[in-house]
Structure 1
Amino acid sequence: MQYQYNEEQTQIKDMFGKFVQDQYGYDRHLALCKSERGFSEDHWQRFAELGLLGLPFSESDGGLGVDGGFLMAIAEEFGRGLVLEPYIATVVLAGGLLARADNREMREALLPRVIAGEFKLCLAWEERASRGQPLTVSVTAKSNQAGDKIILNGQKIVVLGLAAADKVIVTAVSEEGCVNAYLLDPATVGVQIQGQTLVDGQRAGQFQLTEVEVSADAALFSDGNAELGLSDVVNEALLIMAADGLGAMDQLLALSVDYCKTRQQFGVPIATFQALQHRLADMMIACEKTRSLMWAAYQAQGSVEFGERVAMLKAQIGSAGRYVGQQAVQLHGGIGMTEELSVGAYFKRLTVIDLLCGNRDDQLTYLAQLQTQRALAAA
């Protein structure tokens, strides 16, 4: 059983952590948030040079074929550095589904370019009714009379990395009632895109599909069924997002401890006040509870319990992230509300992580439904 990073994972975590410290100062973060693209293309190319873009992909696809622990390790550093590059969008979500596709020609054509940093993808799966459940799909995919085209209709929301993506993978339900995924050029006629800047500076978007035509060979899965792969990919992305959030929480705790040691009141550091020590201790407990659930979810990868443990983790990151963020802002006083201090930026990051892919309440609802189903089955 693994409940902490092994030696190799720690090495890559430390390596990328040093890169983040050198390249991701808070002033740089603010500048990137206000830039046109919202991230650094130079940083993306460095990711490719460091091998980060190929970590989860098999050696046959040109990657390194490592497990999710390596992605968790670098994601914690993403959270610490408030990294804005669309790694989760391109590598974990879209790349993860493409790597599972049985459309070999598409996979062989695109994955090496993704790994080399030459090509960016995003996965459009969230809808207004999905509430974190990727198989709740209303976008439709119908074949034309000749059978050589697929007609897509519907709407997708909060598509991470849409602005930077060269191509989009869209999930849709076929006439047979199966969920499949299709590769789409965002410039295709009938695609209406509305860009979004999330509160933490990340770029996303939503789009409307109106009689959008793609070729039949744009389908990722020849049997028309992407459901298992899609569920696995979203759950793995939630695990990586949670690691990102944990990195942000750890950084907020460290910033708060340092501030309490230096800020003086009545001639002594406020860290000597017992009430504030209790707050810092509670923040640490919230971080450690999240860490424990993260490793519990990691252990369940590939099992039937993975989705349930990820839902528990996502609910925890929502509540713990909010608590740690609120406490950090309060401990820093009025300056904690200002943009010139990074505390607010970390709190925004945690807020976005909670809202993406089904928030805390959505995950708790899902868990309650699972318990109800088990109770009925046992009755």
Structure 2
Amino acid sequence: MTQNVNQTLPELPQPEAPLSVVLAGGGSAGHVSPLLAIAAAILLRVPEAAIKAVGTRDGLETTLVPAAGHELVFIDRIPLPRKPSLDLAKLPWRMRRAVATAKKILQDARADVLVGVGGYVCTPMYLAAKSLRVPIVIHEANTKAGLANKVGARYTTYVGTAFAATAIRHAHVVGMPMRRAIAALDRVQAQSGARERLGLEVGRPTLIVTGGSLGALRLNRAVADSVEALAAAGIQTLHITGKGKAVMRADGSLLTAALYRQVEYVDGMEDVYAAADLLLCRSGAGTVSEVAAVGLPAVFVPLPIGNGEQARNAADLVQAGAALLQPDAGLDGPWIQDNVIPLCLDESRLTRMAGSAAQLGIRDAAERMADMVLAAAEMPNQ
């Protein structure tokens, strides 16, 4: 009697990953970029590790995390109101619901460790991890620690910070996790190729201006008022205006000038850092950390909102002589002519600034965070 070879075979259990890591955080590039850098460093240590990211449905993580090849799941944003309001009255109910969702995420992932980088999703994830006894690892990118990470730091001793000035429990300075293309950048070796890719002359003094992906109106206006003076000094300028922020003339035409090129966005900041002799930019934590890591002189114009964290981010580099700092309200065409143009032409000063920046830069922050993850999960270092 023959057997039916078409019988359905029982489904075999899938082998578990040697390490399951859930990473939480999102909203801005300042959270998503270090999250992805940590994930990449973990996979270098443990290639078979299972990685799952947790974010919100309206943050940059919705595009950046899948593009990096990682699974992304969502949790409701839970703002933590600091003043009496309707949102504060709703907070306990919202938090209970979010913590329940967070527990299910951790349980479904069979998480060995939770890594949080800050943002609205982290508070319920930290509370859920504590309840389930899942080890917690935290990275705080700013000099003023966020409220969510302050909550999480109560439940772990594995807390990495980008800056020594950050006040948070159990802080260990590890630097800012960043993409390998930036962390390993040799500016001198990469400069010629980077300038060619960006449409710049190889041998000319080069100023690059960026206000980040969203642009900065103050920087854009000040540079627009300076293009003729920059060109007269022999300086070429690449102006990254921000998406949708092209700089126009009064007649509605695109601003053009000798030795001046504007683009809305550059995909790959490593080319920007390699091509520039001097960077004029905001002083977000990521930018400050990357500038230091690659040894690039900078003029920082802190964003004039919040509690002054952008100025604090830049303080160490400014004090070391690696950067200048100019308040937003004081940045205009004449200031650029009096300060940026002479600096951009002073090769010896730029060399000294680059060296001072590099002495403060940390290139292996992602690897340091990966080591924390393995330690928290009680895995041998790979």
TM-score category of the 2 structures, normalised to the smaller one: under 0.3
Question: Normalized against structure 1, the TM-score is what?
Answer: 0.26
Could you state the TM-score of these two structures normalised by the residue count of structure 2?
0.26
Q: Which has the higher helix share?
A: 1
